[in-house]
Amino acid sequence: MAAPTKRKKWGKILYEDQGVPDNYVDASFLDELKRNLWTRSYDYWPVVYESGVVTQQLSSVCLFGVTFVYMNEKKLSAQLLFMVSSIFTLIGYVLNDVVDGGESRQLSKRTRIDDLKTAILFTGFSFGLSPLLVSLTETISTDTIYAMTTVMLLANLLFHDYGASAAMVSGALSLNAATFASVCLASRLNTTWHAFATVTFSFELFALWPVLRHKLKTHYPRSQPLMTGIVGLAGVIALLTVSTSGAVMFSILNLFITFICPYWLTRLQLYKNNIHGPWDEAVPVKD
pLDDT of 235-271, one tens digit each?
999 999 999 999 999 999 999 999 999 999 898 887 8
Cα–Cα nearest to 189, from 75, 287, 37: 75
Per-residue confidence (pLDDT) for residue 287, from 0 to 100:
58
Q: Rounded distance, CA 161 to CA 210, Å?
A: 9
Q: Rounded distance, CA 156 to CA 144, Å?
A: 18
The arithmetic mean of pLDDT across residues 146-150, rounded, is: 94
Q: How many beta carbons lie within 10 A of that of residue 13, not counting itself?
A: 8
- Confirm if 233 and 254 have CB atoms less than 8 A apart: no
The arithmetic mean of pLDDT across residues 83-101, rounded, is: 91
Per-residue confidence (pLDDT) for residue 102, from 0 to 100:
74
Q: How many CA atoms lie within 13 A of 51 on its CB side?
A: 20
Per-residue confidence (pLDDT) for residue 4, from 0 to 100:
55
Name all contacts of 91-94 with Cβ < 8 Å and 24+ positions apart: 92/208, 92/209, 92/212
- The 10s digit of each residue's pLDDT in 269-287 is 878 777 777 666 666 766 5
The arithmetic mean of pLDDT across residues 93-118, rounded, is: 85
Cα–Cα nearest to 79, from 201, 205, 210, 260: 201
Report the percent of the chain where pLDDT is more than 90.
54
Per-residue confidence (pLDDT) for residue 112, from 0 to 100:
87
129 vs 202: which has the higher pLDDT: 202
Most confident of 26-30, 103-107, 130-134: 130-134
